[in-house]
Structure 1
Amino acid sequence: MSEAFTIIGTPRFGGILVVSDHASNRVPDDIDLGIEPDLLNQHIAVDIGVAEVGALMAEWPGIAAFQGGVSRLVCDFNRDEHLPTVVPVASDGHAIPGNALDHAAHEARLARFFRPYHDALGALLGDAPQALILSLHSFTPQLASSEEARPWHVGVLYNEDDRAARIAIPLLEAEGLCVGDQLPYSGKLLNATMNRHAEAEGRPYLGIEVRQDLIAHEAGQAEWAERLARIANQVAVEIS
């Protein structure tokens, strides 16, 4: 057991691993972020719906889920370790005063959460190589700091390795969805976990961003879990 991550199901050789860096809004009792409690239920603190979708996907044969165990405001696992945003002092216009840490406290936060998370993920993928890694996130329909709406139902993100993306995009479009190719943002900019554990190792991966209002309720979570499990299996077969 670790406070940095949770594994749901049993990762198997040649299976599919659903990785959700921002699955939790948990803040340990000994950490005070200095924010209003209701912010922990918003997108700045957690990728709404992904924990539930990942857990449902892990009920499928051959699929397991690896999920972050603390809020992205405590430690953002999908950032490069050397960047200050790994412990954010602000997010979407909200200050996080409890994260104004000195060097020693910042280093302690990394040692407690960031490194155990990535060490465990790296070890898992080394011990049980996967046919496909599915990086699962959700995005808000509209940022508080922007007036621009985000109409896409789902986005597909990647950096240099677009093997899985090229297969998945038409499959998602065939479901009647509005699919963003490198939208609502680019995987060339926001892909730290997959850069480290997939691209750097030549492992096939698929970066998925689901619009959070579509998976903020049980019916949507079940619908998307079924859809993504089915499509991920098809991608894994075609990419092998």
Structure 2
Amino acid sequence: MNEAWKIVGIPRFGGILVVSDHASNHVPADIDLGIAPGLLDQHVAIDIGVAEVGALMAQRPGIAAFQGGVSRLVCDFNRDEHLPTVVPIASDGHAIPGNALDHAGHEARLARFFRPYHDALGKLLADVPQALILSLHSFTPQLASSEEPRPWHVGVLYNEDDRAARIAIPLLQAEGLCVGDQLPYSGKLLNATMNRHAEADGRPYLGIEVRQDLIGDGAGQVEWAERLSRIANQVAVAIT
């Protein structure tokens, strides 16, 4: 294991891997972000609920979870390495003064967190090929920087490869859910991890964004773990 990532469950050949870039709000003791501690419990620091949902899914046969080990404010794994937002200096109106780093400091973050995370994920997918990668995130019902509420229960994101999305969207709609197709934002803009580890190699993947208030407690996490496990298995069977 590494401080940048962890694996929950046992990845199996032809299984399903749940990948959550923003599963943790951990900030290593030797890093000072210069922010109020309460901010670490908000969506700017962590995708609320995804660690628990992923861990519950990983209790099922054939499913494992690969989860980021530090807050997205320390290092955002779902960004391209060359972008400054990998180590954000602001998020949803909040300044992150501890991330105003020089080149050496920025490079140190990449070397310590970003590259080990993606190296490990790449190796896992090469060593244990999966039938489906489920990229699991959560989104806030309303951004502080916007007056527009987000009514969707779940969003499905993709870039060029929409094979899994086209199967999953009607399955989610059949659950009585309000489903966003490329909402609350587009996978053509925010899909870095899946672009790198799925689209680049033709691996089937499904990008899922659950509204965080639906998975903010234990009951919601159990409900969505069951739902996503069932639908992911249906997608994996249909796509192969």
1:115 and 2:115 aligned? yes
Q: TM-score, normalised by structure 1?
A: 1.00
CA distance in 2, matches of 1:195, 1:184: 19
CA distance in 2, matches of 1:35, 1:146: 21
- What percentage of aligned pairs have identical amino acids? 88
In the TM superposition, what is the alpha-carbon distance from 1:105 to its structure 2 partner? 0.6
In the TM superposition, what is the alpha-carbon distance from 1:9 to its structure 2 partner? 0.6
In structure 2, runs of 5+ residues without a counterpart are none
Aligned partner of 2:63 in structure 1 is 63
In the TM superposition, what is the alpha-carbon distance from 1:233 to its structure 2 partner? 0.2
The equivalences for 1:103-142 within 5 A come to 103-142=103-142
Aligned partner of 1:42 in structure 2 is 42
The equivalences for 1:1-240 within 5 A come to 1-240=1-240
- Three-state SS of the structure 1 residue aligned to 2:206 is strand
1:39-94 C-alpha deviation (Å, 9 max, x unpaired): 00000000000000000000010000000000000000000000000000000000
Structure 1 stretches (4+) deviating beyond 3 angstroms?
Answer: none
Give the counterpart letter for 1:129 in structure 2: P
CA distance in 2, matches of 1:115, 1:190: 19
CA distance in 2, matches of 1:34, 1:225: 35
Q: TM-score, normalised by structure 2?
A: 1.00
1:179-229 C-alpha deviation (Å, 9 max, x unpaired): 000000000000000000000000000000000000000000000000000
CA distance in 2, matches of 1:40, 1:142: 17
CA distance in 2, matches of 1:11, 1:122: 13
Q: For this pair of structures, how many residues does the alignment match?
A: 240
After superposition, the CA RMSD in angstroms is 0.2
- Three-state SS of the structure 2 residue aligned to 1:196 is helix
In the TM superposition, what is the alpha-carbon distance from 1:230 to its structure 2 partner? 0.2
In structure 1, runs of 5+ residues without a counterpart are none
- Three-state SS of the structure 1 residue aligned to 2:189 is coil
CA distance in 2, matches of 1:108, 1:119: 16
- Three-state SS of the structure 2 residue aligned to 1:209 is strand
